[in-house]
A and B are shown apart, each in its own frame.
Chain A
Amino acid sequence: MKTSLTHQLWTFPGGIHPPERKDLSNQVAIATLPLSSVYRVPIKQHSGAAGPIIVSPGDKVLRGQPLTAAELPGQLPVHAPTSGTIAKIGPGRVAHPSGLPDTLIEINADGADQRQTLEPIGDYQAFSAADLITRITAAGIAGLGGAGFPTAQKLNQQRPLEALIINGVECEPYITADDRLMREHALDICRGTMILLHIVNCERAILAIEDNKPEAVASFTAVLNEFPAIELRVIPTKYPSGGEKQLIQILTGRQVPSRGLPIDLGFLMQNVGTAYAVARAVEHGEVLDQRVVTVTGENVDKPGNYWVRLGTPVADLLAHTGFRAEPQQRVIMGGPMMGFTLPDLTVPIVKISNCVLVPSTQELEPAQTEMPCIRCGACADVCPAQLLPQQLQWLAKAKDYDGLEQQNLFDCIECGACAYVCPSEIPLVHYYRKAKAEVRTIAREKAQAEVARQRFEARKERLEREKQERLERHRQAAEARKKAQAEAQQQGAPNPQDAVQAAIARAKARKAALAAAKAKQEDDSSA
């Protein structure tokens, strides 16, 4: 196993080179957004369950104070982004493609921005992995690359690691949040990486950066001689190199088994932003209450990267950056390949929001009408998962779920490369998402039906068993009675049967006597 990570780089099949447009937003340093008056903090900002709310309306909170608790594995706390008063707790629109509401905690800022921090940990090596994982959970850290999986849960594995991979690829066009963070905070990212290595008890970290970010590479080469455990790999620019599975293939030439995890190959991947957040949480006691967000697109005057407190409404962010809406404006949270459009601007920035993109119609032309598939196969040529997107599309439209399963629908990473090249402008990813949801629904319904069936059969069995038991009890009771009688007879007691016979005999005798008397009377009267 130790042989698979050499300096050699591999490639993954397919991939595309869409216009990057990164220079639109990576020219200036990360700026800080002025405080908002109202923050809307969703209680669920990671992939997993929300923790229970531990504040109530009217409470005064400080910046960094937890608003929810993490009681069960998979739960993560969210924190107040500034000091103020809890205005209300209730449903509101959150950053989710569905546009469905979720519970938000609304905070009226008091403007003082008073902060509370956790106790800084000076020498992390003196602490156990368990203690540090507790700290990372308390700081509310989730994977900042996009998926938002709780970092503590990912670190909390017992299997040996070959290497920790730090993902600084940022392959999605337009987004430069990680790029700027790497340029400006390379040292903190390295320190975070060392803490992560200590936690997972591993001695080797690979930092991967795409070769379109030479400045980020330069800032690391300046500090990396202090960190011999961290190796830098500059990989060729191609979308989607930053996908977890694709990056592992690039670095090792190996594939994560379908439905498996990188840990199955001895790897663990964390985003550079996550490593930074870990360093801040451990060494400075700062919880995750802000992140770098790229604001870009031709319809903002001041594109760039901003430190944005979690819970800041997108409206405030765009107002500060000089947003000019055009008719049919799209506001995209995330990048042009995998981001989703927002229905309105009340949606708050959360842990996984890395970009807000407001393109003009000219730069990102809206999708045209879908034309029929001509089976040109351009989609299959670019698919990094080696699927046949056009076959999946026919099967998805035909709702052939077995066929979709056979064509490995669930290995699709929804990168959008197929839809990007499709000459018929078929929204392929949209069809796959829908089909996946349908397959999941069917599986869930099947599971529910199975549970119902099992319950029904268990009940039927129980009733039958109870009936049999009842009959058996009756039989046993009858036998016991008979036995008792027989025993009693043996001991000289009168047979109850004899008593009955005697009673019958008595009755017959009485009848006979009556009949005789009657006959005698008749004889007398007739005489």
Chain B
Amino acid sequence: MTFKLAASPHTHQKRSTQQVMRWVYLCMIPGIILHHYFFGAGVWLQMLLALIVGLSAEAIAVKLRGRSIRTVWRDHTTVVTALLLAVSIPSLAPWWVISIGMIFAIVVVKQVYGGVGQNLFNPAMAGYVVLLISFPVQMSSWPLATELAQQRVDLSTAASLIFSGYTPAGYSLEQLRMGVDGLTMATPLDALRNGLTAQFTTPEIFASQAIFGAVGGIGWGWLNLAWLAGGLILVQQRIISWHIPVGVLLGLAVPAAIFQLFNPDTSIPVSIHLLSGATMLGAFFIATDPVSAATSNRGRLWFGLLIGVLVFIIRSFGGYPDGMAFAVLLANMCVPIIDKYTQPIAYGHGGKS
């Protein structure tokens, strides 16, 4: 009788890539629910669209590459990319926005480079940046947080808006974005940016806009706390290490605090930096994409710090109100050099014997 030959080790911890990815999207649930609560049912349709387009695009790309679709789908990385892009874009954006973003993310950013593990850039963020540059109007038309809006966006309204551009009652997205006072309203980061550019002081902007009712702005503060909660579960479950999120938050908060200390009237407060825009989603769910991040723990801390500082710079001095996507892509580019200078000292190479 002959026996099966195998290479050691013969035992294996049972945590597959699929399980890792499943943890990631399970931990997104609190954020998605609050997203729905504050910005309407559109997010569900965006997620559905992103999944359908993303998985189909991947199937075609994988087929063209002559690989097995089943094994590629099995790792669930595309599911995570789709969900991340869907929650990053305005929830009532037209259907073709998310579709173009997903096709670019999956086909160009991921499969053209050789599939999962080979991509240099974070697919969701590369897709997001393509959309932001190509369709700035659609990509900055965030619906108003429910508490401020005149009407709730239910599923049928959202479907109608996403697929036709108008609600069943004939309102356009622009009309929906009017606040209780009948004015179109921006996101908190947008409002601060525009106000500061127009030479208003931070307290003046806070006083003049209804969106700053709560920490981080109405809706946005709670949403960020929900992403934070999910992210902490990921850290606790050791799905992600703490190095990148801590790096991002420190890299953003430290310079922001220094500026707030010296220029309280002309800078964005630390609380808004941390609890508005894509900060927590980016720190815990996006920057932690292992494929495009640095390798060692020390490198990951630097990688996170770099993202945080870049977000601060873009928000304070750049041309965009939020900068998470750009910061992540720029940091992705720096990964090889970060890895080169943060290689851990191997056993017996320390010099001190």
Using a CB–CB cutoff of 8 Å, the interface residues on chain A facing chain B are: 12, 16, 18-19, 99, 173, 245, 249, 254-260, 264-265, 325, 328-332, 334, 336-345, 357, 359, 364-369, 371-377, 380-381, 384-388, 390-391, 407-408, 411, 414, 416, 419-425, 427, 429-430, 433
CB proximity of A266 to chain B, nearest CB, Å: 10
Q: How far is the CB of B270 from chain A (nearest CB, A)?
A: 30
Across the interface, name the chain A residue whose C-beta is closest to B11: A336
Leading 6 A-B pairs by shortest Cβ distance: A416-B9, A258-B348, A430-B7, A372-B117, A336-B11, A385-B347
On whether the beta carbons of B11 and A337 are closer than 8 Å, the reply is yes
Q: Which residue of A lies closest to B18 (CB)?
A: A423
Nearest chain B CB to A313 CB, angstrom units: 13
Contact digits for B258-300, partner A, Cβ 8 Å, 1 yes 0 no? 0000000000000000000000000000000011010111001
Residues of A close to B344: CB separation below 8 A: 380, 386-388
Tell me whether B347 and A423 are in contact (CB under 8 A): no
Taking A257-B353, A375-B117, A411-B346 as contacts, is the C-beta distance between A381 and B241 under 8 angstroms?
A: yes
| B10, A364: Cβ atoms closer than 8 Å | yes
- Cα A336 to Cα B345 in complex, Å, equals 28
Give CA–CA (A254, B352) in the complex, Å. Answer: 8
Q: How many A-B residue pairs have CB under 8 A?
A: 178
Give 6 A-B pairs besides A365-B14, A429-B9 with Cβ atoms closer than 8 angstroms: A330-B4, A340-B8, A357-B10, A366-B4, A377-B296, A388-B296
Q: Is the CB of A255 within 8 A of B4?
A: no
B347 with A425: CB separation less than 8 A: no
- A-contact 0/1 string along B338-352, CB 8 Å cutoff: 010001111111101
- Answer whether residue B17 sits at the interface, using C-beta atoms and an 8 A cutoff: yes
CB nearest to B114 among chain A residues? A372
Asked, given contacts A325-B1, A374-B116, whether A390 binds B7 with beta carbons under 8 Å apart, the answer is: no
From residue A310, how far is it (CB to closest CB) to chain B in Å? 22
Distance to closest chain A CB from B240 (angstroms): 9
Nearest-CB residue, chain B, relative to A416: B9
A391, B295: Cβ atoms closer than 8 Å: yes
Do A245 and B348 touch (CB < 8 A)? yes
CA of A257 to CA of B350, assembled, Å: 8
Please state if B295 and A374 are interface contacts (CB–CB under 8 Å): no
Cα–Cα, bound, A456→B309 (Å): 62
Per the bound structure, the CA–CA distance linking A391 and B342 in Å amounts to 13
Residue contact A408 to B7, C-beta cutoff 8 Å: no
B27 to chain A, nearest CB (A): 15
Residue contact A386 to B346, C-beta cutoff 8 Å: yes
- B208 in the interface (beta carbon within 8 A): no
With contact pairs A260-B353, A342-B3, A343-B3 given, residues A255 and B347 touching in the complex (Cβ less than 8 Å): yes
CB neighbours of A427 from chain B (8 A): 7
Q: How far is the CA of A357 from the CA of B10 in the complex (A)?
A: 10
B6 at the interface (CB under 8 A from A): yes
- A343 cross-chain contacts in B, Cβ below 8 A: 2-3, 5
B71 within 8 A of A: yes
Place the interface of chain B in its size category.
Answer: 35 or more
A367→B6 contact, CB < 8 A: yes
Q: Can you report 29 residue pairs joining A to B where beta carbons are below 8 Å apart?
A: A254-B352, A254-B353, A255-B347, A258-B347, A258-B348, A336-B11, A338-B8, A339-B10, A340-B8, A345-B1, A367-B10, A372-B117, A373-B117, A374-B75, A376-B17, A377-B297, A377-B300, A380-B297, A380-B344, A385-B348, A386-B347, A388-B296, A388-B344, A420-B11, A420-B12, A424-B117, A425-B16, A429-B7, A429-B8
A329 near B346 with CB under 8 A, answer no
Q: Which residue of B lies closest to A255 (CB)?
A: B348
* Bound-complex Cα distance A173 to B117 (A): 32
Distance of A16 Cα from B347 Cα, bound (Å):
17
Complex CA gap A344/B5 in Å reads 10
- Which residues from chain B contact A369 at a C-beta distance below 8 Å? 71
Q: Which residue of A lies closest to B20 (CB)?
A: A423
The answer to whether the Cβ of B30 comes within 8 Å of any Cβ in the partner chain is no
Which residues in B have their C-beta under 8 angstroms from that of A357?
A: 10
* A315 to chain B: closest residue by CB: B1
What is the bound-complex CA distance between A270 and B107, given in angstroms?
57
Q: Does B172 contact A (CB under 8 A)?
A: no
Q: What is the bound-complex CA distance between A384 and B75, given in angstroms?
A: 28
Complex contact B295–A388 (CB within 8 A): yes
A423 vs B291: C-alpha distance in the bound complex, in angstroms?
13
| Complex Cα–Cα for A264 and B3 (A) | 43
Indicate whether B19 reaches chain A with its CB closer than 8 angstroms.
yes
Cβ contacts under 8 Å, A173 to chain B: 11
Residues in A with CB closer than 8 Å to B346 are 258, 385-387, 408, 411
Q: A386-B346, A420-B12 are in contact. Are A371 and B17 (CB under 8 A)?
A: yes
A246 to B347, CA, bound (A): 9
Report A-chain residues with C-beta under 8 Å of the C-beta of B11. 18-19, 173, 336-337, 364, 420
Would you give the shortest CB distance from A20 to chain B, in whole angstroms? 11
Q: Which residues of B contact A259 (CB under 8 A)?
A: 348
Check if B77 is an interface residue, CB within 8 A of chain A. Answer: yes
Contact B9 A380 (CB under 8 A): no
Is B3 in contact with A423, judged by CB distance below 8 angstroms? no
A19 and B9 alpha carbons, distance in the complex (Å): 13
Per the bound structure, the CA–CA distance linking A156 and B50 in Å amounts to 70
* Nearest-neighbor residue (CB-CB) of A433 within chain B: B7
State how many angstroms separate the Cβ of A370 from the closest Cβ of chain B.
10
A377 near B290 (CB under 8 angstroms)? yes
Chain A residue contacts of B2, Cβ below 8 A? 343-344
Contact B10 A255 (CB under 8 A): no
| Bound-complex Cα distance A365 to B4 (A) | 13
> What is the chain A residue whose CB lies nearest that of B293?
A375
Which residues does chain A contribute within 8 Å of B4, judged by CB atoms? 328-330, 341, 366
In the assembled complex, the Cα of A420 lies from the Cα of B7 at a distance in Å of 12
Task: Assess whether B56 is interfacial by the CB under 8 Å rule.
Answer: no
Q: Are A332 and B118 in contact, CB atoms less than 8 angstroms apart?
A: no
**Separation of A111 and B324 alpha carbons in the complex (Å):** 80
Using A254-B353, A371-B75 as known contacts, say yes or no to A425 and B8 having CB atoms under 8 A apart.
no
Say which residue of B1, B20, B297, B345 sits within 8 Å of A376 (CB atoms): B20
How many angstroms between the C-alpha atoms of A419 and B13 in the bound complex? 9
- B111 CB to nearest chain A CB (Å): 12
Please tell me if the beta carbons of A372 and B118 are within 8 angstroms of each other in the complex.
yes
**B255 contacts which chain A residues (CB < 8 A)?**
none
With A258-B349, A371-B75, A375-B291 known as contacts, the answer to whether A330 contacts B296 (CB < 8 A) is no
Among B96-136, those with CB < 8 Å from A are: 115-118
Output the least CB separation between A274 and chain B (Å): 23
Complex Cα distance, B3 from A359, in Å, reads 12
What is the CA–CA distance of A503 and B16 in the complex, to the nearest angstrom?
109
| CA A146 to CA B5, docked complex, whole Å | 20
Measured in the bound complex, the distance between the Cα atoms of B353 and A259 in whole Å is: 12
- The reply to whether A419 and B6 contact each other, CB–CB distance below 8 Å, is no
Q: Is the CB of A341 within 8 A of B347?
A: no
User: Which of B6, B74, B300, B339 contacts A330, CB < 8 Å?
Assistant: B6
Which of A344, A411, A416 is close to B348, meaning CB atoms less than 8 Å apart?
A411
- The distance in angstroms between the C-alpha atoms of A259 and B346, with both chains bound, is 12
Cβ contact within 8 Å between B116 and A18: no
Contacts of A329 in B (CB 8 A): 3-4
How far in angstroms is the closest Cβ of chain B from A22?
Answer: 13
